[in-house]
Structure 1
Amino acid sequence: MDGPDPVDGAEDGQDAEEGATPLSGEALLVREGDIAADYLERLLDILDYDGDIDLDVEGERAVVAVVGGALRGLIGTGGATLDALQEMTRLAVAQQTGVRTRLMLDVGGYRAKRREELTELATATATAVKETGQRRKLAPMNPFERKVVHDAVSATDGVFSESEGEEPNRCVVVIPDA
């Protein structure tokens, strides 16, 4: 099935409100971003955090970034609080649109910085695996982090990567080509 999965029997791309116009493609992603921004603005007010919200569409997902001053409390250790906020935001969006969302939330540039770190780690690991011929298992990572690593490893000839294990201990293994 192509496109987002319906939530609670709602039609694909249709707002949960009866009589709403069905949305799809970029229009749906923009709507998701708007809903997420409204939700996050209310949440920031309740939590007494100051931050501006930037909206974008990258590929096939809405990207919402909270930028500003002291936002570390919204990130948490290892991004755990950010992951929870992203999931809550996705649920709020799905409740209003009737479809599951792949929305990405970043706070204070944490995910962008983490993407850079993981890309460097993956590239260095792929190079080492290619040189030694020995597979390497990386530390457990969340789905976002694993995808970044898989994408970076795929750019190196002579190696590939696989995920193994179960959440929350699922990790990436970098393996030399046979």
Structure 2
Amino acid sequence: MSDTTTATAEGSEPALTRLEQEGEIAADYLEGLLDIADLDGDIDMDVEADRALVSIMADGSPRDLQKLVGREGEVLEALQELTRLAVLRETGERSRLMLDIAGHREAKRVKLTELAAETVAQVKETGEAVKLRPMTPFERKVVHDAVAEAGLNSESEGEEPQRRVVVLP
């Protein structure tokens, strides 16, 4: 038996892994939030790269969930932190859970990966470092990963909320 699963009382099926448990707690919390806000949405859970991923997708029009995304994803970021706190309250452990609503983060990931590719090409062509605009921690991680995959190095500089990625030659 692996360290992440334990047997249930009956001993027949493995219990949820820690990340699956985080996802279940988050889904319950978010389901309650959707009920309070009188919004319809389907909640999907996954585990990727040692992180629980929880997505809320619209049952009907995606515009219904845009209130939960907010301008530039600000409401989404706040809801992610509240959801992480709900998990902390239940488990006693800090969570790195990632929340997506109406595909907002996935669309942003695609755009940031394209930005990283363009920046990598520019750095390779000029041989000079390029500083990008200030970004959220999620955005910086996506860019760092894409830059590393392209074979270059990057670093973050500055203080929040002006922290930015610098792509190095």
**TM-score for the superposition, normalised by structure 2:** 0.86
Q: Deviations over 1:112-145 (max 9, x none)?
A: 1111100000011011111011221111111111
One-letter amino acid of the counterpart of residue 129, structure 1: V
My pick for the range that moved more, 107-116 or 68-77, is 68-77
Higher helix share: 2
The structure showing larger relative contact order (alpha-carbon pairs under 8 Å, at least 6 residues apart) is: 1
Q: In the alignment, is residue 126 of structure 1 matched against residue 124 of structure 2?
A: no
Q: In the alignment, is residue 117 of structure 1 matched against residue 107 of structure 2?
A: no
**TM-score for the superposition, normalised by structure 1:** 0.82
- The answer to whether the Cα contact below 8 Å between 1:127 and 1:156 also exists between their aligned partners in 2 is no
Query: SS of the residue aligned with 1:138?
Result: strand
Aligned residue number for residue 153 of structure 2: 160
Query: SS of the residue aligned with 1:154?
Result: helix
Q: Which runs of no fewer than 5 residues in structure 2 stay unpaired?
A: 1-14
Aligned residue number for residue 87 of structure 1: 81
Q: Which runs of no fewer than 5 residues in structure 1 stay unpaired?
A: 1-24
One-letter amino acid of the counterpart of residue 113, structure 2: T
Count of residue pairs brought into register by the alignment: 151
Q: Deviations over 1:81-134 (max 9, x none)?
A: 100000000000110011001111000011111111000000110111110112
Alpha-carbon distance, 1:80 to partner:
0.7
One-letter amino acid of the counterpart of residue 42, structure 2: D
Query: SS of the residue aligned with 2:135?
Result: coil
Aligned residue number for residue 167 of structure 2: 174
Query: SS of the residue aligned with 2:149?
Result: coil
Identity fraction in percent? 60
Q: Deviations over 1:50-100 (max 9, x none)?
A: 111001111211110000132111111111110000000000011001100
Query: SS of the residue aligned with 2:93?
Result: coil
Distance 1:175 1:51 in 2: 42
Compute the RMSD of aligned alpha carbons: 1.3
The one of 130, 133, 138 equivalent to 1:136 is: 130
The one of 144, 147, 153 equivalent to 2:141 is: 147
